[in-house]
């Protein structure tokens, strides 16, 4: 007689935990970067997996079918080494295309979801991303970002946050958590305890935030509390200090934040993972092995060292020495590894289910997100404007030297629109010169700042369009602000959350922009 499913899962967890050595348990708590050799894990990655490293960050720049073959190879290496299958993680904020490049459906960034303002849309976006992610072999997404932006000069979150107040962020974030996890992908609420009031990019330095307890509880905590209530599997902790709240070290290395705020106050029982320890906020002060030790001592389950796999053995050795010296508790080690095993079982990794590489090949090409709500994931001004016949006829000139401008022309041309690109930097007088070169053709300037404060964005748009001719039909801005913010330019405005701070474009926002330009 077979055991009930719950009993089978518990038995699998106990067996896995019981057979691991201390070194393997410590390795389970590391996330590293994989290497590739002829499409397969390279020697250093194989060694790290055999050592027991618990999570790999995403491979990049390969088709979905190649990624699926790579992930199947990873699973075989782990099985042969008698260690739990490594969790394959990635920043899948706009789908698998975010990591792999052209493969898979380009989905809206969270800001597009925030503009739509609909929990059902949020769920559908996450569900679609999760289905494709599992088809390629991903298990764990570092999304959704439930930070509430509360400063005008946010340097990094941009399109990766919903850009709406705490109650709406909580609702959309919880919907996306359900969308991911209902379809077999572990979701991550980030960046606890909230990165939305930082004016420093933690990739470049350590943010010091003067936040009061009242502001924390009213503006930044609610989405994380809602995420925990929604059953989020993992929470990512940020690199920032909060001196007014008694957090003088980075939150990611703080027992007060991990053990106190997350575990005790919020009652979170899932997996705590740090933000990347390679970011300057940490790496400027600590080597990877030291950073990993500090993170684990502070209560993180996973030290996201995000270093090359070849460094894993020396990090494990450093952690073993720390445990021998009493700096790491073996009981807590077992608790963390058990949480990771529970997370695996939650998405079916307690059974051997190879990725279907033939099915993954169907995602090799970039696919369009054709949701009926797509146009609502950008913002337009004036709202309610009628048809724009000059653009709907399909002939206009796009002006701008940016990924967004180029992609707008590429996707528009595929629709049969007669688009031209003038790849000029947007400066005073350029629109008049372009209109003179193309008499009778409407002109659409495309501004593509990535992390400029919104006030700077508006200043730039106003400066360039101030003497613009009547031939300017509409203005497109890659911005997290609503189009009304730019409404004084005297032309229709489309704000589109299409490009993040790293220059990664989602076609979902580009298609939505074309939808409203040519409606």
The reported pLDDT for the residue numbered 469 is 79
Measured between alpha carbons, how far is 89 from 207 in angstroms, rounded to an integer?
26
In this prediction, residue 507 carries a pLDDT of: 96
- 403 and 479, same domain (yes or no): yes
Whether 396 and 248 share a structural domain = no
**CA quadruple 412, 417, 423, 426: dihedral, nearest 10:** -90
- Contacts of residue 422, defined as CB under 8 A and 6 or more positions apart, other chains included, come to 397, 398, 399, 400, 434, 437, 438
Q: Are residues 296 and 444 in the same domain?
A: no
277 sits in the region (left: phi over 0; alpha: psi -120 to 50; else beta) called: alpha
Q: What is the pLDDT of residue 1?
A: 37
pLDDT recorded at residue 386: 56
The whole-number pLDDT of residue 101 equals 87
Q: What is residue 390's predicted lDDT score, i.e. its pLDDT? A: 65
**Tokens 């957090």, residue?**
247
CATH code, 436:
3.40.50
**What CATH number has the domain bearing residue 345?**
3.20.20.300
Q: Indicate whether 119 and 248 sit together in one domain.
A: yes
Would 372 be classed as within a structural domain?
A: no
Count up the domains in the chain and report the number.
Answer: 2
Pair (51, 157) in one structural domain: yes
Alpha carbon distances (Å) from 206 to 32, 340, 420: 22, 29, 43
Q: Is residue 175 part of a domain?
A: yes
Same domain, 213 and 121: yes
Q: pLDDT tens digit string along 336-382?
A: 999 999 999 999 999 888 999 999 999 999 999 999 999 999 999 88
Which residue blocks in 277-388 are alpha helix, DSSP H? 280-283, 288-297, 312-324, 330-346, 357-361
Cα 292 from chain centroid (whole Å): 22
- Do 477 and 493 meet the contact criterion of CB atoms below 8 Å apart? yes
Q: At what angle do helices 5-19 and 330-346 cross, to 10 degrees?
A: 140
Q: Which residue has the tokens 């390279």?
A: 42
**Do residues 319 and 416 both lie within one domain?**
no
In a domain, 201, yes or no: yes
Q: What is the pLDDT of residue 277?
A: 97
User: Which residues in the chain show pLDDT less than 50?
Assistant: 1-3
| 204 in Cβ contact with 156 (< 8 Å) | no
Q: What pLDDT score was predicted for residue 385?
A: 56
Helix 43-51 vs helix 312-324: crossing angle, to nearest 10: 30
Domain endpoint, select from 342, 366, 390: 366
452 shares a domain with 321 = no
pLDDT at 359: 95
Coil, strand or helix at 57? coil
Asked if residue 443 and residue 418 are part of one domain, the reply reads: yes
Whether residues 405 and 336 share a domain: the answer is no
* H or E element that contains 80: helix 64-80
* Residue whose token pair is 């001719």: 469
Q: Are residues 226 and 100 in the same domain?
A: yes
Q: What gap in Å lies between CA 160 and CA 451, rounded to an integer?
A: 11
pLDDT recorded at residue 455: 79
**One domain, residues 407 and 272:** no
Between CA 363 and CA 67 the distance in angstroms is 11
- Please give the pLDDT value at position 343: 98
Residue 496 is part of which domain span?
378-517
Does the residue 373 lie in any domain?
Answer: no
The pLDDT value recorded for residue 440 is 87
């Amino acid at each position: 007689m077979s055991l009930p499913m719950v009993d089978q899962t518990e038995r699998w967890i106990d067996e896995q935990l019981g057979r691991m050595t201390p070194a393997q348990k410590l390795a389970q708590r590391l996330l590293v970067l994989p290497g590739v050799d002829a499409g397969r894990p390279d020697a250093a990655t194989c060694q790290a997996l055999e050592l027991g490293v618990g999570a790999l960050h995403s491979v990049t720049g390969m088709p979905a079918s190649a990624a699926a073959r790579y992930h199947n190879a990873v699973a075989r290496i782990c099985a042969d080494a008698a260690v739990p299958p490594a969790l394959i993680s990635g920043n899948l904020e706009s789908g698998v295309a975010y990591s792999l490049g052209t493969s898979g459906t380009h989905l809206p960034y969270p800001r597009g979801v925030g503009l739509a303002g609909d929990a059902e849309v949020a769920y559908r976006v996450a569900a679609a991303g999760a289905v494709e992610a599992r088809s390629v072999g991903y298990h764990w997404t570092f999304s959704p970002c439930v930070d509430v932006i509360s400063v005008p000069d946010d340097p990094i979150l941009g399109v990766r946050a919903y850009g709406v107040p705490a109650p709406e962020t909580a609702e959309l974030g919880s919907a996306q958590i359900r969308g991911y996890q209902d379809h077999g992908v572990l979701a991550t609420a980030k960046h606890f305890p909230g990165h939305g009031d930082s004016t420093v990019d933690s990739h470049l330095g350590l943010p010091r935030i003067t936040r009061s307890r009242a502001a924390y509880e009213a503006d930044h905590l609610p989405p994380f509390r809602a995420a925990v209530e929604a059953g989020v599997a993992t929470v990512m902790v940020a690199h920032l200090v909060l001196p007014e709240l008694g957090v003088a070290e980075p939150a990611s290395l703080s027992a007060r934040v991990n053990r106190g705020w997350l575990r005790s106050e919020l009652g979170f029982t899932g997996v705590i993972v740090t933000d990347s320890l390679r970011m300057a906020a940490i790496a400027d002060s600590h080597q990877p092995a030291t950073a990993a030790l500090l993170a684990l001592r502070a209560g993180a389950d996973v030290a996201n060292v995000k270093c090359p796999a070849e460094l894993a053995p020396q990090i494990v050795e450093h952690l073993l020495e720390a445990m021998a010296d009493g700096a790491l508790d073996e009981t807590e080690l077992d608790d963390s590894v058990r949480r990771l095993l529970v997370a695996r079982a939650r998405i079916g990794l307690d059974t051997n289910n190879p990725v279907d590489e033939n099915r993954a090949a169907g995602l090799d090409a970039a696919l369009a997100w054709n949701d009926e709500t797509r146009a609502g994931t950008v913002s337009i001004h004036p709202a309610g404007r009628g048809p724009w016949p000059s653009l709907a006829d399909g002939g206009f000139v796009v002006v701008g030297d940016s990924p967004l401008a180029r992609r707008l022309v590429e996707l528009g041309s595929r629709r049969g629109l007669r688009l031209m690109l003038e790849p000029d930097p947007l400066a005073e007088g350029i629109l008049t010169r372009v209109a003179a070169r193309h008499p009778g053709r409407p002109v659409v300037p495309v501004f593509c700042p990535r992390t400029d404060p919104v006030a700077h964005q508006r200043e730039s748009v106003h400066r360039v369009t101030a003497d613009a001719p009547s031939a300017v039909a509409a203005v497109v801005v890659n911005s997290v602000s609503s189009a009304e913010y730019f409404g004084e330019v005297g032309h229709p405005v489309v704000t589109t959350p299409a490009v993040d701070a790293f220059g990664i474009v989602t076609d979902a926002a580009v298609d939505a922009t074309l939808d409203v330009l040519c409606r």
